[in-house]
Amino acid sequence: MQTLVTGASGYVGAALAPRLSRDGHAVRGFARSASRVQARFDELVIGDAETGKGLAKALDGVEVAYYLIHSMEGPAADFAAAELRQAERFGHAAAKAGVRRIVYLGGLVPQDGSISRHLASRLAVEETLLRAAPESVALRASIVIGARSRSFRFLVRLLERLPVLAVPAWRHNRTQPIDGRDVLEFLAAAAVLPKPHAGRAWDIAGPDAMSYAEMLERIADSMMISRPSLGLGFSLTPVASVVAAAVAGEDVALIGPLMESLEHDLLPRDDTAATTFGVKLHRFGAAVERALRELEALEEVAAR
């Protein structure tokens, strides 16, 4: 099967390419710069979803296209509009090329109706792509636990560098982080998911539900460090995100919208995805231990 992986230089795209190759797919990558692509693809097309450059060539003959493009860095007010423009351009090009299925990885949506800028953008992109190809599949995940996951690395750096954790009011909210290995299995299975299960979004999550405070505590335990926690009665996300990004050495344009998403529970609507896709889920502790070992192989983790 001819597949296309966009976001070829990113964490998920780079890991997905060899996983699809093992299943016998012919894997074509799509990226803005060849120098940033570390994974091996059968073919690499250089282009830009924002301008449409290279899309026709990238999508030619493709049956399944993975849409792994995000635009959260840059001017904070513009990322949602940019993401929607790119998705619309990609969807139009995919429909014109006769792509049967687009697979999209987005974010879990709060069940109480409240939604952050980040998750609202993900949802708008999801809806656009589901309309573009008849058998598309959208996967919604919370925090991905992996050495190259920027969300996970952000948490590790905060725990490593802050002697005391001042945790905002959202610490009581709950989510279900997912092992990066399991995300790859869901994505790979999505390419061949039977048609009756396609044309919709699926919530994917790890087996362990926890509060954000508990998640930080368990990661700290795996790092073999103790961090006293100071619970705050407020969030002040615009200020907190600037401070947290500076401490972790991250881009506040990325961290700000992500932290807004913590204001509500992010839990799956049901737990049927793993059975439907045939994915055996890893527990949270095992996911964190593996991610930390791999992170240590990439860069120093002083707290370990």
Q: What is the pLDDT of residue 284?
A: 98
Rounded Cα gap, residues 88 and 83, in angstroms: 9
Nearest to 113 by CA among 265, 235, 255, 259: 265
**CB-side neighbour CA atoms (13 Å) of 229:** 18
Q: Does residue 229 belong to any structural domain of this protein?
A: no
- Per-residue confidence (pLDDT) for residue 169, from 0 to 100: 73
Residue 231, in any domain of the structure:
no
Determine the pLDDT at residue 118.
Answer: 78
Give the domain extent around 59.
2-146+176-207+267-282
Closest CA to 232 of 172, 175, 176: 172
The pLDDT, as a whole number, for residue 77 is 52
160 falls within a domain: no
Within-domain flag for 30: yes
260 in a structural domain: no
Quote the CA–CA distance of 55 and 4 in Å, as a whole number.
11
Q: What are phi and psi of 37, to 5 degrees?
A: -90, 115
So what's the pLDDT on residue 14?
95
Tell me the whole-structure pTM to 2 decimals.
Answer: 0.91
The pLDDT value given to residue 76: 47
The per-residue pLDDT for 235 is: 61
Tokens, residue 135: 């058998």
Asked whether residue 45 is assigned to any structural domain, the reply reads: yes
pLDDT along the chain (304 residues), means of 10: 95 96 97 92 95 97 96 61 94 97 95 79 94 96 94 91 79 94 98 97 97 93 87 64 78 73 88 97 98 91 68
- Host H or E run for residue 17: helix 11-22
Q: Residue 180 sits in a domain of what CATH number?
A: 3.40.50.720
